[in-house]
Structure 1
Amino acid sequence: MRALDLSRLITAAADTIADHAEELTALDQAIGDGDHGLNMKRGFEALRSDANVFAAKPLPDALKAIGTKLVMTVGGASGPLFGTLFIALGKEISADPDNANLTAAFGKAIEAVAARGKSQVGQKTILDVLQPVRDALAGEKTAAEIADIADAAAKATVPMKALRGRASFLGDRSIGHMDAGARSTALLVRTLAQIIGDKA
């Protein structure tokens, strides 16, 4: 796997979340607390502030530090879930991962998120984007293909009935709305994919 400019990646991710914060808030207002965009923006601005600090660490340590920062700054339900994703990924990934290691580590991170959220694929959560992305990594799809798969997976949450999180309280009324967490996950996947694609 090519070496990543982690500082550039963090900055790009923060820009992406900031640019889409209102969209994420609107999605969350429909079936959630309405604070997803604001919470994610706050968390990623915190990452931006420490981007050079993270970039100076070995990749596993950087990912664990990023996850810890997200837990502390994002808040709501998303903080622990996104934080768990990065912390678990940091525990499993090597300093210079190949595709096999990345895929295996990402799979373990998804398991940690599922355990933390007591959820599974098909329940209208971030898992509905994370799992297809892991499968795409395993299938050695291109960065652009993975980004498209993530976008499609987020859109596929629209007809789902939410079975976890605040949206689950709405029952059938949650149907017809995209999950905000799934959308933010897809946005982050596309940002990463674009930067990796730039290095190709």
Structure 2
Amino acid sequence: MKLDTTWIETWMGASAAAIAENKALLNHLDREIGDGDHGENMDRGLTAVVPALAALPDDATPAAALRSVAMTLISTVGGASGPLYGTAFLKAAEPLGDGPELDGTVVVAMLTAARDGIVSRGKAESGDKTMVDAWTPAVDAARAAAAEGASPGAILDSAAAAAEAGAVATEPMVARKGRASYLGERSAGHRDPGAQSTAIILRAAATVAGDD
């Protein structure tokens, strides 16, 4: 499908469904190294995003839709994830300008801006065992796919696959940021819940877009 406002609305609906389906898993992952409520928080936030997007005017731009997602997540998701995801979507809107549709270049810019927003807000880098460990591979894969002339949908698919692999790769890491860092070496052997929710959300983006 075209990567327009309708795509963002459909993407967020698919994300909400996927997070709801994986809520128990995300809570379990978070229970191992955090507060145990990441799934609950993300489910609450994305459930609120769906009606917020439906309330936008018919002529809302994709950037306006992303800003709506951001503000809703900031106001409804508890813990550190709300500000981090909120910042991600807020920054993701910036490269879109007032355009009605995203091409491959803008998709890469959107993902890059989202990742950079998370890094800036959370002061984390690759290897810290955070959602950055899913976002950075996603950005790198998106750039590589775009350089090869891939379609926007294929770029998103590459990003999602890299995020999924990145989430798995957090398992042996020792956390250096966030609540998990308090566990030191004991944080190894557990997947980061934020990286896993990132992989779920980016996979929803790719699935909805299709290989256009």
CA distance in 2, matches of 1:194, 1:162: 30
Counterpart of 1:135 in structure 2 is 140
Instruction: Indicate conservation of the 8 Å contact 1:71/1:79, yes or no.
Output: yes
- Aligned amino acid, residue 189 of structure 2: G
Counterpart of 2:79 in structure 1 is 76
**1:121 Cα offset (Å):** 1.2
Residues 150, 54 of structure 1: alpha-carbon distance in 2 compared, 3 angstrom cutoff: farther
CA distance in 1, matches of 2:56, 2:43: 18
Q: How does 1:1-12 map to 2 (within 5 A)?
A: 2-4=2-4, 5=6, 6-12=8-14
CA distance in 1, matches of 2:26, 2:144: 30
Alignment size in residue pairs: 199
Instruction: Indicate conservation of the 8 Å contact 2:138/2:158, yes or no.
Output: no
Q: Secondary structure at the match of 2:92?
A: helix
Q: 1:105 aligns with which of 91, 105, 110?
A: 110
Q: Which deviates more from structure 2 when the two are superposed, residues 91-100 or residues 151-160?
A: 91-100
CA-based RMSD: 1.7
CA distance in 2, matches of 1:85, 1:144: 19
1:189 maps to 2:194: no
**1:148 Cα offset (Å):** 2.2
**1:181 Cα offset (Å):** 0.3
| Structure 1: stretches of 5+ with no match in the other structure | none
**1:162 Cα offset (Å):** 0.5
Instruction: Indicate conservation of the 8 Å contact 2:53/2:68, yes or no.
Output: no
- Aligned amino acid, residue 100 of structure 1: T
Identity of aligned residues (%): 38
Instruction: Indicate conservation of the 8 Å contact 1:122/1:128, yes or no.
Output: yes
Instruction: Indicate conservation of the 8 Å contact 1:129/1:182, yes or no.
Output: yes
Q: How does 1:10-29 map to 2 (within 5 A)?
A: 10-29=12-31
Q: Deviations over 1:25-75 (max 9, x none)?
A: 000000001110100000011012223124742111111121011010011
CA distance in 1, matches of 2:116, 2:27: 27
Q: How does 1:21-100 map to 2 (within 5 A)?
A: 21-54=23-56, 56=58, 57-94=60-97, 95=99, 96-100=101-105
Answer 1 or 2: higher relative contact order, Cα 8 Å, separation at least 6.
2
**1:18 Cα offset (Å):** 0.4
**1:196 Cα offset (Å):** 1.0
- Aligned amino acid, residue 151 of structure 1: E
- Aligned amino acid, residue 164 of structure 1: K
Q: Deviations over 1:67-103 (max 9, x none)?
A: 0110100110000000000001112223223222221
Residues 105, 7 of structure 1: alpha-carbon distance in 2 compared, 3 angstrom cutoff: closer
Counterpart of 2:173 in structure 1 is 160
Instruction: Indicate conservation of the 8 Å contact 2:142/2:158, yes or no.
Output: no
